[in-house]
């Protein structure tokens, strides 16, 4: 195995899953490198949870192949699964156990050797900020701390891959910030797949984004590449004496106009259209007082909305 291959922790090729006549995932390819945090996005019903269940070996694909750190998940399921830590959307917690009892149970289930189990539990508790509540019953903890416990059970066996399904859902802003920091820490030692509907969360912690729609990938690139997505297709227009937004929207080649600040407008181009020259001409002829015309950087929310709308219309 060469050095490049050894850095790949997850490789899924041609992954598909059907439920009767419904195809939940269709020919999906996914690759994750060591130390990389992948934001896994998509509207409800896009196939995210189905994909994660297949990647963790909890659901067999109809077609395709999955390797975890080069180990075939279907030929050697026990060995491959030992490299994975998984936190489903609803953490599998036993509320009547203390935090330490539960994480110790998870270590046993993950077959952590008895000689190193105690230190493994201590490390997981410390890494998730749970040392001070280790003796408390899980049922008495806040939801934020319960999410931490869920992550602790997913990392106690020091997996190469950690898969987190909506880890911050229902948390308050302070708890979300704490979990985000924890995810960043996880990304230093292992690969992370983060499924979430909170787009700023992805921009904050992820290195790369993969967006699913109708079970297929519609975007797969780095966070930095978002700034180049649809380059030149949206501009920020500054006018000292702007007309009504409807008048701007009626300019040939303009698809949408949205406020972008005081006397600023975000203008999105229509397909195969470029209204720049016409906007400049009208600004001069009608005295709009043009003072800014710059390319707009596309946010993750812009990309997500554009791609999913495009797929719906196609």
Q: Are residues 173 and 117 in the same domain?
A: yes
CATH number at residue 249: 3.30.70
176, part of any domain: yes
Final residue belonging to a domain, choices 180, 210, 227: 227
Final residue belonging to a domain, choices 227, 242, 259: 227
Q: Are residues 199 and 80 in the same domain?
A: yes
Q: Across 210-214, 225-229, 280-284, which has the greatest mean pLDDT?
A: 280-284
175, part of any domain: yes
Name the residue range of residue 38's domain: 3-227
For residue 118, name the pLDDT band (cuts at 50, 70, 90).
very high
From the number of C-beta atoms within 10 Å of its C-beta (0-12, 13-18, 19+), residue 164 rates as buried
Stretch 34-60: mean pLDDT: 93
311, part of any domain: no
For residue 1, name the pLDDT band (cuts at 50, 70, 90).
very low
- Using CA atoms, how far apart are residues 189 and 171, in angstroms rounded to an integer? 25
Mean pLDDT of the chain: 89
| Host H or E run for residue 71 | strand 71-72
pLDDT 10s digits, 187-218: 988 999 999 877 778 888 999 999 998 899 98
Q: Among residues 296, 243, 164, which one has the least CA distance to residue 306?
A: 296
- Give CA separation, 54 vs 38, 45, 290, 305, in Å: 17, 15, 54, 26
pLDDT 10s digits, 69-96: 999 999 999 999 999 999 998 888 999 9
Q: How many domains does the chain have?
A: 2
Task: Tell me the pairing of strands 22-33 and 8-19.
Answer: antiparallel
- Using CA atoms, how far apart are residues 47 and 186, in angstroms rounded to an integer? 25
| pLDDT recorded at residue 287 | 96
Query: Given CA atoms 72, 76, 78, 82 in this order, what sign does their dihedral have?
Result: negative
Q: Are residues 222 and 198 in the same domain?
A: yes
| pLDDT recorded at residue 74 | 95
| pLDDT recorded at residue 101 | 98
pLDDT 10s digits, 262-279: 899 989 888 778 899 999
pLDDT at 246 over 80: yes
């Amino acid at each position: 195995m060469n050095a490049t291959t050894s850095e790949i922790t997850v490789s899924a090729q041609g992954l598909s899953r059907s439920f009767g006549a419904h195809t939940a995932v269709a020919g999906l390819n996914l690759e994750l490198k060591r130390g990389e945090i992948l934001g896994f996005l998509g509207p409800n019903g896009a196939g995210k949870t189905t994909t994660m269940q297949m990647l963790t070996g909890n659901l067999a694909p109809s077609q395709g192949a999955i390797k975890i750190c080069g180990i075939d998940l279907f030929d050697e399921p026990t060995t491959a699964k030992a490299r994975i830590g998984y936190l489903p959307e609803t953490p599998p917690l036993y509320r009547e156990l203390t935090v330490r009892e539960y994480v110790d149970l998870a270590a046993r289930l993950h077959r952590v050797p008895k000689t190193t189990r105690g230190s493994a539990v201590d490390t997981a508790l410390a890494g998730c900020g749970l040392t001070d509540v280790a003796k408390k019953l899980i049922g008495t903890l806040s939801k934020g701390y319960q999410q931490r416990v869920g992550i602790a059970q997913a990392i106690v066996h020091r997996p190469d891959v950690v898969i987190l399904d909506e880890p911050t859902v229902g948390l308050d802003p302070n708890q979300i910030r704490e979990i985000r920091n924890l995810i960043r820490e996880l990304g230093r030692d292992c690969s992370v797949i983060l499924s979430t509907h909170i787009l700023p969360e992805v921009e904050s912690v992820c290195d790369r984004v993969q967006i699913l729609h109708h079970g297929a990938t519609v975007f797969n690139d780095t966070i930095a590449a978002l700034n180049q997505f649809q380059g030149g297709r949206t501009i920020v227009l500054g006018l000292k004496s702007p007309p009504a937004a409807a008048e701007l929207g009626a300019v040939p080649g303009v698809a949408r106009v949205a406020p972008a600040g005081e006397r600023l407008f975000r203008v999105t181009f229509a397909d195969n259209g470029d209204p720049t020259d016409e906007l400049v001409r009208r600004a001069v002829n009608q005295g709009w007082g043009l003072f800014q015309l710059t390319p707009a950087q596309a946010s993750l929310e812009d990309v997500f909305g554009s791609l999913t709308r495009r797929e719906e219309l196609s």
